[in-house]
Structure 1
Amino acid sequence: MSGDPARAGRGRTAAVPDGFYQQPPTVELPEDGGAPVVRFTGEDGRECVFRFEELPLEGLHRDFAHALGARIGPGGGRRTQRAATSHWQSVKRFFLLLDQLPAPPGCVEELRVRHLQRYLMTRRETCVEKSARKNLQDLLLLMRALPGQGRLDSQVADFVGQRGHGVDAQQAGQPGYSDREFQAIMAAARSDVVAIRDRIAAGEALLQQFMHRPGSLSVADREQGARLEAMARTGRVQVDFRGLAVGEFPAACYEQARQLFVVAEDLTPLLVYAAGLTGRNPETLKELPAEHRLVEDRAVAVTLVKRRRGKANSRTSVHWSVDADPARQLRTAGSFYLLLHRIMARSRGFSATASVWSIWAGNGHGAVHNASTGGHTGPFDAELARKLHLGHWAQEHGLSGDDGAPLQMKLTRIKKTVEARTAKQVGGHLPSARLTNTAETSFAHYLRGDPFITEWAAEVLTDAITDAEQHARAVVLRLGGADAGTVAEDVRQRAAAGELDTLAAACADIEHGPDGGRCRESFLACFGCPNALVLERHLPALLALTDTLREDLQRREAEQWAARHGATWQIITRDILPRFSPAQRAAAIKAKPVLPLGLLDGPKEQA
């Protein structure tokens, strides 16, 4: 029977350690007065240690160690390894800068505003404005956590508490890629992914042939098959070093490992393609778990990590579609995830990582660090900030920007591109476009400042306005229940030129009135005549006519007015004016003429 404690579950209390539990200290202060040590353990289990003995200015060590511990400890605001390291780098850079001054401060009481301003100026010399302000923000947050705030110089305390010079500084980041750039990136990544898949598939095929039909292989292939079998069984790379110089051993090991395992250089195209296919941010992709669930072989359910949502909402389940056709393996996110799971399965068996990512890294320092696992490791288990050499990868594939310069590769820009492309595909409807964020977050952080989205939106708006104008200007109303489509083109053109105008319409055939012969009816009779046409150019007169009818209502009894003009009023206000846009009616108001009331009673024929 296993000696492991029972797992917690419904109706069972969680196992707790015996005796009194004391939380291990975040800040260690040696009794002999040595430099303090700050230990960090993140919510994801990643750890790191920061030693102040590396820094000058011993008089500042203890105060800043307490501040750093408060910021990255269990109750602090920085709970990931990357954020904790960023805080430490701010302390380190600040101390090194102060140490170069002719009279560096010896304690926190001697810190001055000019020291903080110099720090910002120095950061601006080596990085962009956004990064410089972010570095200053980290330093100011640390200084807010210094013990004994009353010891700070009053001007320094005021500066630290102010906003606008670093704290909560916002600045638009780089935009996404254009459609051409994105297609080139995805094509390059896809070609590499196919090569990785086929390479490992070829090694697996040779291994299976050696294990089941060794007699069908040549002598060289049998030897290679034996080495692959030993690699698959032990995880350790087997190389025939005969005829190789000592300096060629690492390259030979690397080449042999590639036959069955994913290696470090494969991570770049795999992550680039994953970002373009899923639209997820780099941190989430690097923490893809190996654990998953297939749903009727049509989708794969995976639990993703997104820590920026806060601890309570840091995990979410997604369902990625799976295409049963092997030829479409790289078309859907679910099929690609299963491909990643399969090609790194052997390596995961030795590295024992819970992540889907597992590589062979047994050369150089990796041979020492990963000796117990035969060189296998989860590349993002210790830290997420593993260098991927994206610039080198883009250069190898000859990727260039729309300006002709070498393309600047960033996974975050790929995510922005996917957000923008999705928004365009759904016509800009953000609730439908959102992939990983709320509609508000997608707009504020991914779409609002993107020049390609701005250009697209301007084109869509221009096209919409043009279509609306063309549609509106093409409106030709034929009154009296007749079909406007039967009006001859030459009549339309003459009506549009104003050659057929009556009072507030055009007459398509004045020589053949409703009663036969040349029309001699009142102008108001046009609104019930099948010969009458109404175009946009008649809007000013129509609006003026409605004003005149309102005035006439004031001098008549309602029943009398309704009997005389009720039908005309209904036709104009309900059948004609609603066919034109508010903008058209607003423009027509500025040009409407003034019609005398007497016009309603005559003349009875066209002048």
Structure 2
Amino acid sequence: MPATVTRDPLSVRFIFNDGSRYVASLDGLPNPELARDLAQGLASNAHPHGGIGTKRTAMVYAVSLRQMVTKLAEAGFTGPASDLTRAALMRFWLAGKAEHERNTRMILKGLDTGTGALRTEVREYLAGNKLHVKPRTRPYRAYTDGEWERLETSLRTLVDDSWVQHKRALKLAAEGADPRITKRNSKADMAWLMLRDGPIPWRDGYQEYIRGHVESISRKAEPQLRQVREALFPNPLVQYAYMILFGMYSGIVPDGISDLCGEDVEWAGDSAILLSYVKGRTSRESVNIPGRAVRLLERWLQFSEPARRFADEECRRMLWISHSPHARRPISPPSENGKVRRRLKRSLGLVDDEGGALLIHRGRLRASYQERLSRRGWTGRATIDPNHTPRVEGDHYVTPTTPARLAAVESIIEDGQAAVLRKSLPPVVLSTDRAAELAEGFPDAVKRLGLDSAALAELVGGERDVFTAACSDQLAGVHGPAGLPCPARPWVCLLCPLAVFLPRHAPNLLRLDAFFSRQFRQMPTENFLRVFGPYADRLSNEILPKFSEEAKSKGLLEVAGDDSDLPLRPEEGTI
């Protein structure tokens, strides 16, 4: 079972997907009978039956449960859950926060589903709308390129400096010896001793260790010991910097990074890592992390190896560990409290683009990673997160957050809409090769193409011919960079709004039609429709029927039935 209720003392024990455990203590509440009933509702909300899938969520639900029992007792309610009334619940929820209403509603629903203990009026009330309107959330705003680069550079400098100090400390330790024998008070002997006995504090360890063996202790000894200790063993500041930088390099969700263990790192060769992590809302996921993240993780494992020797069994299996002289244990699991974040912010001294202090938010880091990834091209996935719909993805990762990004997105949308409209225009198929008759008989086409008399003469005279049509402007940049010749393949002209099809193009159009037929015979239908379908349809249904039978008959005489007369690449040929 994912969650069980223990009666004496009253508690709910959770077992989560990643193997971690949590015990929600509910003993000592003012109304034990109500607490026992709600404990059953809390247990029934454990994943997969409910929404409690992480330790953090279970803690929040337990807090709401304790609040409910305490507040109702203060209001004079002393009975079980079956005595709860709609009025009592309404008073409690109106006086509390939205999250407490949400959590206790789910607890009561879980209890009623399993036992049917609630009154009918309460059950109907739980099925209705909440009293508190759910606050509207806003997607995380991605960091700008300048903010991202400044943050990455600063973190990289901190990490590299700590690595250099670590290598120096290891070298010092190799040169040192037992200070009781050498009678010295040097940094080399301090490093030697700490590599053997662990991160020794000044008052409780080193000073007592050398007392009676070293005649005098310099005042510089304590800061020297602190320097050696922080060089040999990662402190919380350096550990947090590694975690932030790893998130910037890998794009993994913050809770997945925080809970990583040693067994989650699986080497796939010498330079690739398959990383398994647990995402709070779902279950275990795996990802082949990028090369920069692999190298950073490899360095972290080397850096933390001396500290891991002196950690207890529970802490040793954690990937992120650190030493703090003020912690209860010499080596502690990752710490992400506000104090560490504030220290890192002060240490880096970063500013945002407006000149204010740059806040480090791991949710924003992930949003920035995905936003930067989307600008590099297709990622191979329909959505960033398989648990999100495309609409949620757009709201959280693609929504523009600055005027410049909004303008860029609007420009992309406008270009896309213009391309769709251009493709919907009918092809310009002319039955004459004389410019005067063209201008008189097809005024709309001439106007749409923006042709003057000189350009019209060039178009009709064949000076602007490409393989399948006459192009009104090869430098327009419709299918490539503006100002450079169009790089499109021959069949792309069939859907191009700049193409004009004249009788002299009939032979090449028939060659292309025969090419489509050969491709259809040798390609799977689905592939053919995806690659050539729109072009073949336009050619056979909208272009060729507008040519005279005489023009098509003459053109067929020139078609050889193979690829010899087509400007194809080697991989595009037919057998």
1:458 matched to 2:410? The reply is yes
Q: How far does the alpha carbon of each residue in 1:194-224 deviate from its partner, in whole angstroms, 9 at most, with x for none?
A: 2222221221122233379x9xxx997x722
Distance (whole Å) between structure 2 residues aligned to residue 527 and residue 568 of structure 1: 13
1:187 aligns with 2:153: yes
> What is the Cα deviation at residue 300 of structure 1?
3.1
Structure 2 residue 299 is the aligned partner of structure 1 residue 299: no
Q: Give 1:528 shift.
A: 5.6
Deviations 1:3-31 (A, max 9, x none): xxxxxxxxxxxxxxxxxxxx99932224x
Instruction: Give the corresponding residue for 1:329.
Output: none
Residue 56 of structure 1 deviates from its aligned partner by: 3.0
The 5 A counterparts of 1:417-456 are 417-426=368-377, 429=378, 431=380, 437=386, 440=389, 443=393, 446-449=396-399, 451=401, 456=408
* CA deviation after TM superposition for structure 1 residue 293, in Å: 4.9
Match of 2:302 among 329, 342, 348: 342
**What's the CA shift for 1:439?**
7.7
Q: Secondary structure in 1 aligned to 2:24?
A: strand
AA in 2 matched with 1:316: S
* 2:252 aligned with 1:316: no
Aligned-partner Cα distance in 2 for 1:424–1:119: 49
What does the per-residue CA deviation read over 1:373-430, in whole Å, with 9 as the maximum and x for residues that have no partner? xx123337xxxx766632453344343444554444321111011111111221xx46
How far apart, in 2, do the equivalents of 1:123 and 1:405 lie? Answer: 35
Question: Residues 155-178 of structure 1: CA distance to partner in whole angstroms, max 9, x if unpaired?
Answer: 321232236668999844433323
For residues 421 and 193 of structure 1, the distance between their equivalents in structure 2, rounded to whole angstroms, comes to 23
Deviation at 1:260, TM superposition (A): 0.3
Q: Secondary structure at the match of 2:14?
A: strand
Shift of 1:355: 2.6
Q: Which amino acid aligns with 2:317?
A: A
| Matched-pair contact (CA < 8 Å) for 2:3–2:44 | no
Give 3-state SS (helix, strand or coil) of 1:340's partner: helix
Which residue of the partner structure matches residue 192 of structure 2? Answer: 229
Indicate the residue corresponding to 1:93 in structure 2. Answer: 67
| SS in structure 1 of the partner of residue 310 of structure 2 | helix
Q: Is the 8 A contact 2:53 2:281 kept in 1?
A: no
For 2:101 and 2:149, the matched residues in 1 are separated by 38
Q: 2:321 aligns with which of 358, 361, 365?
A: 358
Give distance in 2, aligned partners of 1:174 and 1:530. Answer: 56
Find the aligned partners of 1:115 and 1:173 in 2 and give their Cα distance.
36
Cα distance, 1:288 vs structure 2 = 3.0
TM superposition shift of 1:266: 2.0
In the alignment, residue 146 of structure 2 is paired with which amino acid? R
Aligned equivalents of 1:379 and 1:122: distance in 2?
A: 36
DSSP-derived class of the 1:344 partner: helix
Secondary structure of the structure 2 residue equivalent to 1:309: coil
Unaligned runs of 5+ in 2: 208-216, 465-469, 474-500, 511-575
SS, match of residue 316 in structure 1: strand
Q: 1:76 & 1:567 partners in 2: Cα distance?
A: 68
Q: Distance in 1 between matches of 2:247 and 2:321?
A: 18
In the alignment, residue 308 of structure 2 is paired with which amino acid? R
> Which of the numbers 63, 67, 71 marks the counterpart of 2:41?
67
Specify the code of the residue in structure 2 equivalent to 1:447: Y
Q: Is the 8 A contact 2:250 2:293 kept in 1?
A: yes
Pairs within 5 Å for 1:183-222: 183-210=149-176
Q: Distance in 2 between matches of 1:433 and 1:76?
A: 28
Query: 1:523-538, aligned counterparts within 5 Å?
Result: none
C-alpha contact 1:232 1:346 (8 A) present in aligned 2: yes
Structure ID, larger Rg: 1
Q: 1:151 Cα deviation (Å)? A: 4.3
Q: Is the 8 A contact 2:367 2:396 kept in 1?
A: yes
**CA apart distance, 1:65:** 2.0
Tell me the equivalent position of 1:593: none
CA distance in 2, matches of 1:534, 1:280: 49
Instruction: Provide Cα deviations, 1:296-319, integer angstroms capped at 9, x if missing partner.
Output: 533234333335333xxx142525
TM-score (norm 2): 0.63
Residues 555-605 of structure 1: per-residue CA shift (max 9 Å, x gap) = xxxxxxxxxxx977999xx99xxxxxxxxxxxxxxxxxxxxxxxxxxxxxx
Q: Classify 1:170/1:355 alpha carbon distance in 2 versus 1 (closer, same or farther; 3 Å).
A: same
Contact 2:239 2:321 in 1 (8 A): no
Q: Which amino acid in 1 is paired with 2:278?
A: V
Asked if 1:378 corresponds to 2:333, the answer is yes
Cα distance in 2 for partners of 1:501, 1:73 equals 73
- The 1:295–1:58 alpha-carbon spacing in structure 2 relative to 1, beyond 3 Å, is closer
SS at match of 1:431: coil
Normalized against structure 1, the TM-score is what?
A: 0.60
Cα offset for 1:350?
A: 2.1
Distance, in Å, in 2 between the alignment partners of 1:223 and 1:285 is 38
One of 293, 299, 303 as aligned partner of 1:333: 293
Indicate if the aligned counterparts of 1:177 and 1:414 stay in contact, CA closer than 8 A.
yes
Residue identity in the other structure for 1:28: T
Following superposition, the deviation at residue 73 of structure 1 comes to 8.6
Displacement of 1:281: 0.8
> Aligned in 2, Cα 1:387/1:567: closer, same or farther, shift over 3 Å?
closer
How do 1:72-151 residues align onto structure 2 when only pairs under 5 Å count? Answer: 72=46, 77-101=51-75, 103-104=76-77, 106-113=79-86, 115-117=88-90, 121-122=94-95, 124=97, 132=98, 134-146=99-111, 150-151=116-117
Deviation at 1:150, TM superposition (A): 4.7
Shift of 1:78: 2.5
| Structure 1 Cα separation of the partners of residues 47 and 415 of structure 2 | 55
Q: What is the Cα deviation at residue 340 of structure 1? A: 0.9
Match of 2:442 in 1: 504
Q: Check 1:449–1:111 CA distance in 2 against 1; reply closer, same or farther (3 A cut).
A: farther
Q: Does 1:415 align with 2:366?
A: yes
- Post-superposition CA distance 1:436-474 (Å, at most 9, x none): 6478467256325453565542233346678999999xx
SS at match of 2:309: helix
CA–CA separation in structure 1 for the residues paired with 2:400 and 2:372: 11
The corresponding residue for 2:6 is 28
The answer on whether the counterparts of 2:433 and 2:502 sit within 8 Å (CA) in structure 1 is no
1:272 aligns with 2:223: no
* Matching residue's letter, 2:126: V
Are 2:210 and 1:261 equivalent residues in the alignment? Answer: no
Deviations 1:232-278 (A, max 9, x none): 12224164544669xx98x8875442020011222221211111111
Counterpart of 1:285 in structure 2 is: 257
Is the contact between residue 350 and residue 376 of structure 1 (CA under 8 Å) also seen in structure 2?
Answer: yes
Indicate the SS of the match to 1:203.
Answer: helix
Aligned CA distance change for structure 1 residues 295 and 113 (closer, same or farther; 3 Å): same
Aligned to 2:29: 55
RMSD: 5.0
- Per the alignment, do residues 461 and 28 of structure 1 end up closer, same or farther by CA in structure 2, a change over 3 Å counting? closer
Conserved 8 A contact 2:68-2:92 = yes
* Structure 1 counterpart of 2:334, one-letter code: P
Indicate how the Cα distance of structure 1 residues 43 and 204 shifts in structure 2: closer, same or farther if over 3 A, else same.
same
Structure 1 residues not aligned, in runs of 5+: 1-22, 125-131, 322-331, 485-494, 515-525, 537-565, 576-607
Assess if the C-alpha contact under 8 Å between 2:111 and 2:117 holds in 1.
no
